[in-house]
Amino acid sequence: MGHRTCGTIFILLYVISTSTLLASSNEHGLIRIPLKKRSIMDSIYGELLPKPPSALEKTKQAAAGPGPGREEAVGVDDPVRDAIAQARERQHQMLVEAAATERRRRYYWSYSGGGKGNSSRLHDGGLGQGNIVALKNFLNAQYFGQIGVGCPPQNFTVVFDTGSANLWVPSAKCFFSLACLFHPKYDSSQSSTYKPNGTPASIHYGTGGIAGFYSEDQVTVGNLVVQNQEFIEATHEPGFTFLLAKFDGILGLAFQEISVEGSVPVWYNMVNQSLVEQPVFSFWLNRNPFDGEGGEIVFGGSDEQHYKGSHTYTRVTRKAYWQFEMGDFLIGGRSTGICVDGCAAIADSGTSLIAGPLVAIAQINEQIGAAGVVNHECKQVVAGYGLEMVELLKAQTPPSQVCSKIGLCTFDGTHGVSAGIESVSGSVDGMSEAICNACEMIVFWMQSEFNANKTTEGTLEYVDRLCENMPDPVGSYVNCRHIGSLQTVAFSIGGRAFELRPDQYILKVGEGFAAHCISGFTALDIPPPVGPLWIGFADSA
């Protein structure tokens, strides 16, 4: 087997016996967790995760059973899967305007002959050498590479996705989907190693989906040839999600537990067939969009030329996604207290943004001056009950009981549930849960300020500013001129704090007067016991 290591900004270590996640760091311990960023441009932002079935579908599945020779996929009714899908949908909504700006800028460059043009951004790396696959870099937001299916190989450009576990490519039997007309299609009649299977399969996404059937053939990844690999021939790609996509299909790198129909993922077969020297795969993403090399993914190792210092190891806590335990979250070196008791985090290569709890994202937006929605419920609670809440906390009232004592929530011993208060318009039911949630969030912020010995007036002013900077579901914008003066944020992983600079968590699209700067953080609240949950983590080259 030819061998050539690739650079790693972050590494996923899959050890079947120990299930450990490995992330690289520089000499100061700067982590690089999130693997690859999927495109945020040209209407290709759709979720790449199977959608949980409806109650009717689950009833039919239970009656039919898993099918001959199959085991039913684990975790179909999975809140983590839903959370990842929500994060990717937020990413799609938030960046539509930025995508339009970038398209206009690229059109102007192409028309005027200015700049280096789009061609310099899309490096065609081919199949690579050894266990290396060269990656293309599209606008510093999408990284994808080429694989071959069949003998001789039929080449496809795929997204290497750690948030899903199946391989699918368009089928020559796809006759009625417009997307299939614009992408290469797998033709089983042209492969000498094809084996029929025929099991129906479908994957649903928030903005579309694919359907087809399983087939079996050899898959070439770099110079590795995986034998007898099951994959989905997509015969239906409705809608526009994949029509203008820069990729043809998806190669999932998550665990078999979330694979549709329990199919064995490509990565598993690489290990099982002893094709790799180590049970490790790693990514190097080149953040310079004008460089000829977009990045690399290496199966079976890593390359010391692309990282400094030692690696930090942390255990995978759930064999479905690359999920691990995260400790404290800091802004400007100051603890927020949000994850001091631990939070779950997922390294999802399909999410460009970092999704986290609302209480954390609001604090980040306040610190970086991101303009979000003026949250009416939050402001209403501060104006009407802020002083009373402060006095209760000063009187050593347990924070979990403050909102119930002032009548905004009822308390069942584990979590605040809305008791309901009347809104400005006189409605009770529509406002009650939002008011309760806002109250609980404000109590958390107030407690954090008390720990810093802030005055009553200072505390109320602080939470009022946080209300002003509640994250907007369609994006939180930052003044591009202020990026250099913003604070760092840090995540505690494996007992070490890993820092992100402002230029690493702010997405800048366009140049000059056309530039837009968007916060790389988006709010996503997942209740216990699954949450609080963080998803994503942008690379920090």
Catalytic residue status for 348 = yes
User: Residue 354 has which token pair?
Assistant: 């970092």
The answer to whether 195 touches 129, Cβ cutoff 8 Å, is: no
Residue type, 230: E
Pairing of strands 295-299, 132-138: antiparallel
- Listed in sequence order, the DSSP H helices in 244-375 are 266-272, 358-368
Q: Classify 234 as helix, strand or coil.
A: strand
Q: 23 vs 126, 171, 394, CA distance in Å? A: 27, 36, 42
Alpha-carbon span 487 to 471, nearest angstrom: 18
How many Å apart are CA 491 and CA 473, to the nearest integer?
Answer: 23
Query: What single string gives the DSSP state of each residue in 445-486?
Result: HHHHHHHTT--HHHHHHHHHHHHHTBPPTT--EE-GGGGGGP
Pairing of strands 154-161, 142-149: antiparallel
Contact predicate 53/321, CB 8 Å: no
Q: Would you say 60 and 510 are in contact if contact means Cβ atoms under 8 Å apart?
A: no
Q: Which of 161, 248, 472, 539 is catalytic?
A: 161
Question: What distances in angstroms separate CA 326 from CA 323, 335, 382, 490, 520, one per listed residue?
Answer: 10, 13, 31, 11, 19
- Measured distance between the N- and C-terminal CA atoms of the chain, rounded to whole angstroms: 30
3-state SS string for 494-525:
CCEEEEECHHHHEEEECCHHHCEEEECEEECC
Closest CA to 86 of 531, 516, 473: 473
Residue 328 is a catalytic residue: no
Q: Report which residue type is found at 114.
A: G
Crossing angle (nearest 10°) for helices 429-451 and 456-468:
130
Residues 6+ apart with CB under 8 A from 61: 53, 72
Catalytic site residue from 217, 248, 328, 348: 348
Annotated active-site positions, please? 161, 348
